[in-house]
Amino acid sequence: MIKKAEFVMSNSQVSKCPKELLPEYAFIGRSNVGKSSLINMLTNQKNLAKTSARPGKTQLINHFKIDNTWFLVDLPGYGYARVSKSTKKVFQQFITQYFEQRTQLVCAFVLVDIRHEPQKIDLAFMQWLGEHNIPFAIVFTKADKLKPLMIERNIKSYQDILLKSWEEFPPYFITSAENRAGKEELTTYIEQINTMLKKQSSE
Ligand code: GTP
Ligand code: MG
Protein backbone atom coordinates (compact mmCIF):
# COMPACT_ATOMS: atom_id res chain seq x y z
CA MET A 1 0.00 0.00 0.00
CA ILE A 2 1.30 3.41 -0.96
CA LYS A 3 0.85 5.88 1.88
CA LYS A 4 2.60 8.98 0.68
CA ALA A 5 3.31 10.32 -2.80
CA GLU A 6 4.86 13.66 -3.56
CA PHE A 7 5.94 15.42 -6.73
CA VAL A 8 9.68 16.12 -6.71
CA MET A 9 10.65 17.69 -10.04
CA SER A 10 10.25 17.77 -13.82
CA ASN A 11 13.25 17.61 -16.14
CA SER A 12 14.20 17.40 -19.75
CA GLN A 13 17.73 16.37 -18.88
CA VAL A 14 18.66 13.11 -17.25
CA SER A 15 21.69 14.72 -15.60
CA LYS A 16 19.37 16.99 -13.60
CA CYS A 17 17.17 14.21 -12.23
CA PRO A 18 17.26 13.57 -8.45
CA LYS A 19 20.65 12.42 -7.20
CA GLU A 20 19.29 10.36 -4.33
CA LEU A 21 20.03 6.69 -4.73
CA LEU A 22 16.53 5.30 -4.31
CA PRO A 23 15.09 2.43 -6.34
CA GLU A 24 13.27 3.86 -9.34
CA TYR A 25 10.41 2.56 -11.50
CA ALA A 26 9.48 4.22 -14.79
CA PHE A 27 6.22 4.20 -16.70
CA ILE A 28 6.62 4.30 -20.44
CA GLY A 29 4.46 3.64 -23.46
CA ARG A 30 2.67 5.25 -26.35
CA SER A 31 1.11 8.62 -25.88
CA ASN A 32 -2.38 8.42 -24.39
CA VAL A 33 -1.96 4.81 -23.20
CA GLY A 34 -2.70 5.89 -19.63
CA LYS A 35 0.70 6.31 -17.92
CA SER A 36 -0.22 9.37 -15.89
CA SER A 37 -3.67 8.00 -15.02
CA LEU A 38 -2.11 4.78 -13.75
CA ILE A 39 0.27 6.74 -11.53
CA ASN A 40 -2.65 8.61 -10.01
CA MET A 41 -4.52 5.36 -9.50
CA LEU A 42 -1.55 3.70 -7.77
CA THR A 43 -0.93 6.68 -5.50
CA ASN A 44 -4.62 7.35 -4.72
CA GLN A 45 -4.39 10.89 -6.01
CA LYS A 46 -6.54 12.58 -8.60
CA ASN A 47 -4.07 15.00 -10.12
CA LEU A 48 -0.61 14.06 -8.97
CA ALA A 49 0.38 13.30 -12.58
CA LYS A 50 -1.25 15.47 -15.24
CA THR A 51 -3.56 13.58 -17.59
CA SER A 52 -5.41 14.54 -20.74
CA ALA A 53 -7.65 13.03 -23.38
CA ARG A 54 -5.31 14.64 -25.92
CA PRO A 55 -2.10 12.72 -26.56
CA GLY A 56 1.20 14.40 -25.75
CA LYS A 57 0.25 15.72 -22.30
CA THR A 58 3.36 14.61 -20.42
CA GLN A 59 6.40 16.23 -22.00
CA LEU A 60 9.07 15.91 -19.32
CA ILE A 61 10.62 13.36 -16.98
CA ASN A 62 8.56 13.65 -13.79
CA HIS A 63 9.81 12.25 -10.51
CA PHE A 64 7.46 11.33 -7.68
CA LYS A 65 8.79 10.18 -4.34
CA ILE A 66 6.81 7.37 -2.79
CA ASP A 67 6.75 6.68 0.95
CA ASN A 68 10.15 8.41 1.18
CA THR A 69 11.77 5.22 -0.11
CA TRP A 70 11.42 4.96 -3.88
CA PHE A 71 10.79 6.97 -7.03
CA LEU A 72 8.04 6.57 -9.53
CA VAL A 73 8.70 8.24 -12.89
CA ASP A 74 6.16 9.51 -15.39
CA LEU A 75 7.61 9.84 -18.88
CA PRO A 76 6.35 11.36 -22.13
CA GLY A 77 4.79 8.94 -24.55
CA TYR A 78 6.63 7.69 -27.59
CA GLY A 79 5.16 7.53 -31.05
CA TYR A 80 3.03 10.61 -30.82
CA ALA A 81 2.48 11.64 -34.43
CA ARG A 82 1.07 15.11 -33.97
CA VAL A 83 4.15 16.85 -32.60
CA SER A 84 6.61 18.13 -35.17
CA LYS A 85 9.46 15.88 -36.29
CA SER A 86 12.06 17.89 -34.43
CA THR A 87 10.09 17.83 -31.16
CA LYS A 88 9.58 14.12 -31.56
CA LYS A 89 13.29 13.61 -31.95
CA VAL A 90 14.02 15.55 -28.78
CA PHE A 91 11.51 13.43 -26.85
CA GLN A 92 12.95 10.24 -28.13
CA GLN A 93 16.42 11.39 -27.37
CA PHE A 94 15.79 12.18 -23.76
CA ILE A 95 13.69 9.08 -23.25
CA THR A 96 16.47 6.85 -24.55
CA GLN A 97 19.04 8.83 -22.56
CA TYR A 98 16.95 8.35 -19.45
CA PHE A 99 16.98 4.57 -19.90
CA GLU A 100 20.64 4.44 -20.83
CA GLN A 101 21.91 6.64 -18.03
CA ARG A 102 19.62 6.25 -15.07
CA THR A 103 21.46 3.70 -12.96
CA GLN A 104 18.83 3.86 -10.20
CA LEU A 105 16.25 2.39 -12.56
CA VAL A 106 15.11 -0.98 -11.28
CA CYS A 107 12.31 -1.80 -13.68
CA ALA A 108 10.49 -0.19 -16.58
CA PHE A 109 6.77 -0.72 -16.90
CA VAL A 110 5.84 -0.73 -20.56
CA LEU A 111 2.19 0.20 -20.85
CA VAL A 112 0.12 -1.09 -23.73
CA ASP A 113 -3.55 -0.52 -24.43
CA ILE A 114 -5.27 -3.88 -23.96
CA ARG A 115 -7.72 -3.11 -26.78
CA HIS A 116 -5.17 -3.20 -29.56
CA GLU A 117 -3.27 -5.92 -31.35
CA PRO A 118 0.48 -5.82 -30.61
CA GLN A 119 1.90 -2.66 -32.16
CA LYS A 120 5.25 -2.43 -33.92
CA ILE A 121 6.48 0.51 -31.91
CA ASP A 122 5.79 -1.22 -28.56
CA LEU A 123 7.47 -4.41 -29.68
CA ALA A 124 10.44 -2.40 -30.94
CA PHE A 125 10.71 -0.58 -27.64
CA MET A 126 10.64 -3.84 -25.65
CA GLN A 127 13.30 -5.20 -27.97
CA TRP A 128 15.41 -2.13 -27.33
CA LEU A 129 15.03 -2.52 -23.55
CA GLY A 130 16.05 -6.16 -23.83
CA GLU A 131 19.13 -5.29 -25.85
CA HIS A 132 20.09 -2.76 -23.19
CA ASN A 133 19.54 -5.27 -20.37
CA ILE A 134 16.84 -3.12 -18.79
CA PRO A 135 14.35 -5.26 -16.86
CA PHE A 136 10.75 -4.56 -17.76
CA ALA A 137 7.22 -5.70 -17.13
CA ILE A 138 4.20 -5.20 -19.37
CA VAL A 139 1.23 -3.30 -18.02
CA PHE A 140 -1.97 -3.71 -20.00
CA THR A 141 -4.14 -0.61 -19.53
CA LYS A 142 -7.82 0.30 -19.96
CA ALA A 143 -9.01 -3.22 -19.09
CA ASP A 144 -12.39 -1.72 -18.18
CA LYS A 145 -13.01 -1.28 -21.91
CA LEU A 146 -12.90 -4.98 -22.77
CA LYS A 147 -14.72 -8.15 -21.78
CA PRO A 148 -12.60 -10.80 -19.99
CA LEU A 149 -12.53 -13.11 -23.01
CA MET A 150 -11.13 -10.39 -25.24
CA ILE A 151 -8.58 -9.48 -22.60
CA GLU A 152 -7.38 -13.06 -22.59
CA ARG A 153 -7.30 -13.21 -26.37
CA ASN A 154 -5.29 -10.02 -26.71
CA ILE A 155 -2.76 -11.05 -24.08
CA LYS A 156 -2.38 -14.35 -25.88
CA SER A 157 -1.49 -12.58 -29.12
CA TYR A 158 1.19 -10.61 -27.25
CA GLN A 159 2.56 -13.82 -25.82
CA ASP A 160 2.59 -15.51 -29.22
CA ILE A 161 4.55 -12.67 -30.77
CA LEU A 162 7.02 -12.08 -27.94
CA LEU A 163 7.76 -15.75 -27.44
CA LYS A 164 8.99 -15.92 -31.02
CA SER A 165 12.02 -13.85 -30.06
CA TRP A 166 12.18 -14.20 -26.26
CA GLU A 167 12.63 -17.23 -24.05
CA GLU A 168 9.99 -16.15 -21.61
CA PHE A 169 7.16 -13.70 -21.37
CA PRO A 170 7.92 -10.82 -19.00
CA PRO A 171 5.85 -10.30 -15.85
CA TYR A 172 2.59 -8.64 -16.80
CA PHE A 173 -0.32 -6.85 -15.16
CA ILE A 174 -3.89 -6.21 -16.26
CA THR A 175 -4.96 -2.77 -15.06
CA SER A 176 -7.59 -0.08 -15.25
CA ALA A 177 -7.27 3.42 -13.88
CA GLU A 178 -11.05 3.56 -14.17
CA ASN A 179 -11.96 0.63 -11.88
CA ARG A 180 -8.59 0.24 -10.15
CA ALA A 181 -7.94 -3.26 -11.42
CA GLY A 182 -4.36 -4.42 -10.95
CA LYS A 183 -3.53 -1.91 -8.25
CA GLU A 184 -2.71 -4.46 -5.55
CA GLU A 185 -0.70 -6.66 -7.89
CA LEU A 186 1.42 -3.83 -9.25
CA THR A 187 2.07 -2.25 -5.86
CA THR A 188 2.95 -5.61 -4.33
CA TYR A 189 5.34 -6.35 -7.20
CA ILE A 190 7.22 -3.08 -6.63
CA GLU A 191 7.26 -3.48 -2.85
CA GLN A 192 8.62 -7.00 -3.11
CA ILE A 193 11.50 -5.82 -5.28
CA ASN A 194 12.19 -2.97 -2.85
CA THR A 195 12.31 -5.39 0.09
CA MET A 196 14.68 -7.65 -1.82
CA LEU A 197 16.98 -4.73 -2.71
CA LYS A 198 17.01 -3.55 0.88
CA LYS A 199 17.94 -7.01 2.08
CA GLN A 200 20.72 -7.25 -0.51
CA SER A 201 22.19 -3.90 0.45
CA SER A 202 22.27 -4.79 4.14
CA GLU A 203 24.04 -8.09 3.53
P1 GTP B 1 0.69 11.26 -22.50
O2 GTP B 1 1.16 11.94 -21.26
O3 GTP B 1 0.02 12.18 -23.45
O4 GTP B 1 1.74 10.43 -23.16
O5 GTP B 1 -0.52 10.22 -22.10
P6 GTP B 1 -0.62 9.20 -20.88
O7 GTP B 1 -0.11 7.88 -21.32
O8 GTP B 1 -0.04 9.77 -19.64
O9 GTP B 1 -2.22 9.04 -20.75
P10 GTP B 1 -3.20 9.73 -19.69
O11 GTP B 1 -3.03 9.11 -18.36
O12 GTP B 1 -3.10 11.21 -19.79
O13 GTP B 1 -4.61 9.20 -20.24
C14 GTP B 1 -5.02 9.42 -21.58
C15 GTP B 1 -6.52 9.26 -21.68
O16 GTP B 1 -6.92 7.91 -21.43
C17 GTP B 1 -7.32 10.10 -20.68
O18 GTP B 1 -8.47 10.58 -21.32
C19 GTP B 1 -7.68 9.12 -19.59
O20 GTP B 1 -8.85 9.46 -18.90
C21 GTP B 1 -7.86 7.84 -20.38
N22 GTP B 1 -7.57 6.65 -19.55
C23 GTP B 1 -6.41 6.40 -18.90
N24 GTP B 1 -6.46 5.23 -18.25
C25 GTP B 1 -7.68 4.71 -18.47
C26 GTP B 1 -8.35 3.50 -18.07
O27 GTP B 1 -7.83 2.65 -17.36
N28 GTP B 1 -9.63 3.32 -18.53
C29 GTP B 1 -10.25 4.22 -19.33
N30 GTP B 1 -11.49 3.93 -19.74
N31 GTP B 1 -9.66 5.36 -19.73
C32 GTP B 1 -8.40 5.61 -19.31
MG1 MG C 1 1.09 11.42 -19.34
Ligand 1 mutation pick, 40, 50, 52, 115, max ligand atoms within 8 A of CB: 52
* pTM of the full structure: 0.95
Domains annotated for the chain, with CATH where assigned, are 5-197 (3.40.50.300)
HSE toward the beta carbon, residue 184, CA cutoff 13 A: 2
* The pLDDT of residue 59: 84
Write out the residues surrounding ion ligand 2, Cβ under 5 A: 35-36, 57-58
Neighbour order of strands in the sheet with 136-141? 5-11, 61-66, 70-74, 24-29, 105-113, 136-141, 172-174
77 lines ligand 1 (CB under 6 A): yes
Q: Give the confidence band of 85 by pLDDT, cuts at 50, 70, 90.
A: low
**Does any ligand 1 atom lie closer than 6 A to the CB of residue 56?**
yes
Q: Which long-range contacts (CB under 8 A, 24 or more apart) does 178-187 make?
A: 178/142, 178/144, 179/143, 179/144, 180/41, 181/143, 181/144, 182/139, 182/143, 183/41, 183/42, 186/42, 186/109, 186/139, 187/1, 187/2, 187/42
Instruction: Please write the tens of the pLDDT for every residue from 164-198.
Output: 989 999 999 999 999 999 999 999 999 999 999 99
State pLDDT tens for residues 35-56. Answer: 999 999 999 999 999 999 888 8
Nearest CA to ligand 1 atom 31: 142
Question: How far does the centroid of ligand 1 lie from the alpha carbon of residue 195, in Å?
Answer: 30
CB of 35 sitting under 6 A from ligand 1: yes
Whether 82 lines ligand 1, by a CB cut-off of 6 Å, is no
89 CB near ligand 1 (under 6 Å): no
The CB of 183 under 6 Å from ligand 1? The reply is no
**Distance from C-alpha of 107 to C-alpha of 105, rounded to nearest angstrom:** 6
Task: List, as own/partner pairs, every contact residues 62-66 make where C-beta atoms lie below 8 angstroms and the sequence separation is at least 24, other chains included.
Answer: 62/7, 62/9, 62/10, 63/7, 63/8, 63/9, 63/10, 63/11, 63/17, 63/18, 64/5, 64/6, 64/7, 64/8, 64/39, 65/5, 65/6, 65/8, 65/18, 65/22, 66/2, 66/4, 66/5
> Does pLDDT of 72 surpass 90?
yes
- In sign, the C-alpha dihedral spanning 193, 195, 196, 201 is positive
